[in-house]
Each structure stands twice: as structure tokens, then as C-alpha cells.
Amino acid sequence: MSEFKTAQDLADAVRRGELDRRDFLRNSLGLGLTLSSFSVLGLACSGETEAPPPPPADPAVPQPEPELGPIEAELHIYMWSDYIAEDTVPNFEKEFNCKVTVDTYESNEEMIAKLQLGGGGYDLVCPSGYAVTVMGKLGLMEKLTRKYLPNAANIAPIFSKTVFDPSDEHTVPWQWGITGIAYRKDKITTPPDSWAFFLDAAQKGKVTMMDDMRDNIGAWLKYRGKSVNSVDPADLAAAKADAIAAKPNLRAYISAPVKGQLVAGDVFAAQLWNGDTMQAKAENAEIEFAVPKEGAVIWCDSMVIPKGAKNIRAAHEFLNYVLRPDVGAAISNFTGYGSPNSAATAKMTTPVAYPTDEQMKTLEYQQDLGEGTAAWDQLWTDIKSA
């Protein structure tokens, strides 16, 4: 039985605050009210009926970022070889009580293939710009939680909101550089000034080119005045012919590990990145870096958190740590590359083979090849097996 004659009387009493939850339910049932009647009367309350769904978030209004848990006890990094100062990891481990492992790769394609196979269990990887686009398309990245990266304020504006990460959602820039030619000035009389250098039989057995599809084929495209991102079949056919013509002169397709052979004098010249060249030069002052007159590749590599990473807070703490001016400067002092961190650049003490303004005009960023990727993959297989 209900103390109220009508549902409206009951509703008025509820609004006046005269009933507790138990009395409300007893009187409701006495009047034969159902859950849907409660909402008609404006009496829906938690537990008695479902709350209406929240309105969709307005994309123009920034949403609060999630809270991350406490820092995990481990962190797994997968990055290019020789790309971090010797004390970066030990200092982080000590300060944050977090054990770090670093595995290395020699090309973006090697790294992406490993992630696609689900391997590694990595928390941070280091793609070049075009590879960020590829990873985005493949759904291989987690979003960053920017509030854990206050030191991102140190990043130079030119390295923020890039074409490959226009909202800074996924990347923290790591290092930037160019792909040219490292050479021994005591072994080669005329410094190489063209990619044609590798076509010269006089260099037979004493030169190497990179084991990196994009940089290697890109060099031959540049040689013919084409874009390093061309997917035009005629351009690719010409690049293939040049690459195969150069092949008898090459001692190997090899990337960063060629440094030891340059230092020892077993190799006189190698297609190589400017920073790795500076690392070799630190061991042998006869080593120099040249940018071919036809132009070359310029790139910026970034750190991203791969999809499914387990140690997300540790990844953020590491990124924020390397964005400190001193830590960033120490990294570039070791790698020989430019730092995208302007506060770090101001503290650097070792030289970088920066491109001149004239050379800058000839440099080109790599982009995702999209549907042209399959043709490039086939070309690279053909070149290597020729």
C-alpha cells in the first residue's frame, strides 16, 4: 500500500525531500509504478534506471588526459645502433629505479617487420618520419599522454607538429641528420662529390653502400635528378640499372657497422649518415663527410610507443628525461647528430656535420610510398639478388 493517492503526490513528496530511498520504493510499488514511470515523473535515480549516455565529446574541446599508473620496474627500447650516449641508460636506471634493455636495428623496415610479427615486447621504438606514417596506417602506435612530458617545451618549434605527426600525438623527436658519403681523405685523392663515385671501377672492393632500401635506392634516384620518393616505373628502372651497375664495385651493403672498417682503412668510402661518420671521425681524424651535389636525404627520427606496450609510464618518464637539456646534449655529443631539442643544442660540445644553406636546398625528406611500397620492395630484392 502507498501513503500517496497518486504518482504525482509521490513525486512532489520526493522533490520536497520527505522520503528516503526505502520509503520511495515502497510507495512506488504500492502505486504500481514501473521504472519507466519514474523517468516520466523525473524521479530516475542511480540504481533504479540507466543513466542516459553522455553526449559525444566535442572534438574542438580538449579532453582531459588519462592518469598513468606508477612507473614500472622495466623498460624495453628498440632503436638504431650507436644512437644513445653511454651514460643515458645507466643514469636513468639509477634515478628512476627502472631496468632498461636496448635492442638495435639498422633500418625502419626491419623494425616495422618485427613489430608486425608481434615480437619484442618493446615500450619505445625510433622510426624516421616516413615510417611514423607507415606505423600510423598499420595501427602500430599508442598515443602519448603529453602531461607527462613537460620537458617537451625544449623541442625546437620546427620539430613540432610535423607532417608525419601534425598534432604531436605520437612522437617525440630524437635526432636529425642526412645521408651522404663518409670517406678517408688519406686514401682518396679527390673527395667524392657525386653519387657517381660508386659507379667508378677505380673504387672496386673499397667502397660500400647502405643496407637500407630507402637510402640506397633514394641515392640513385637523386643521382638522376628524381625525388627520393618517386614511384614512377621509369625512375625506378633507372635507379635499378645504376644500383646494379655499381654493385661490382661494392664490398658490401652495410650501414652503421661499416664504421669500424672505415676507421681501420679496409673501406675507403661508404654511403653513411653524417652522425655515424662523426663517430668514426672521433676515432680516426682522416674521415670526412660529403654531401653529393645531386642532393641527398634529410631525416628526423622520433621516439614512439608501439601498440600494446606494457611499460607506458616508464616510457613517458624516459622521454621526459632525454628531453632534459643536459641529457639531450650528451646524446648528441655521442651520436654526432643534430638535436631537435634547442635547450640541448645550446649545451652541445662536439661538432656536427650540419648541411650548409646551399646543400639544404638539395636535401629531401622521405615520405611513405603508399601503394608504391611493393614496387620498391621488389626493386630492392632484385638489386640485392642481381
The residues that touch ligand SPD, with contacts defined as CB under 6 A, are: 80-83, 128, 212, 214-215, 256, 273, 276, 297, 299, 301
CB of 358 to ligand SPD, least distance (A): 22
Residue 39 vs 373, nearer CB to ligand SPD? 373
Q: Facing residues of 103 across strands?
A: 78
Residue 81 vs 91, nearer CB to ligand SPD? 81
Q: Which residues of 30-53 are buried (b: 16+ CB within 10 A; e: fewer)?
A: ebebeeeebeebebbeeeeeeeee
205: number of Cβ within 10 Å? 14
What's the CA gap between 111 and 253, in Å, rounded? 18
Residue 242 vs 276, nearer CB to ligand SPD? 276
What torsion, rounded to 10 degrees, do the Cα atoms 177, 179, 184, 189 define? -120
- Written as one letter, the residue type at 72 is E
CB of 255 to ligand SPD, least distance (A): 8
Residue 215 vs 242, nearer CB to ligand SPD? 215
**Cell numbers at residue 7, please?**
504518482
- Which DSSP symbol is given to 229? T
What's the CA gap between 26 and 10, in Å, rounded? 11
CB closest to ligand SPD, residue no: 80
CB of 223 to ligand SPD, least distance (A): 17
Residue 2 vs 104, nearer CB to ligand SPD? 104
CB of 65 to ligand SPD, least distance (A): 30
Coil, helix or strand for 330?
helix
Of the candidates 180, 201, 178, 204, the residue with the CA atom closest to the CA atom of residue 192: 180
Residue 214 vs 316, nearer CB to ligand SPD? 214
CA 127, distance to chain mean position in Å, is: 4
CB of 386 to ligand SPD, least distance (A): 22
Q: Which helix (H) or strand (E) holds 169?
A: none
Residue 214 vs 313, nearer CB to ligand SPD? 214
Q: How far is CA 181 from CA 157, 287, 380, in A?
A: 29, 10, 20
What's the CA gap between 190 and 344, in Å, rounded? 36
Residue 297 vs 353, nearer CB to ligand SPD? 297
Of the candidates 322, 262, 352, 278, the residue with the CA atom closest to the CA atom of residue 85: 322
CB of 341 to ligand SPD, least distance (A): 16
CB of 57 to ligand SPD, least distance (A): 37
CB of 318 to ligand SPD, least distance (A): 18
**Which residue shows C-alpha cell 651522404?**
180
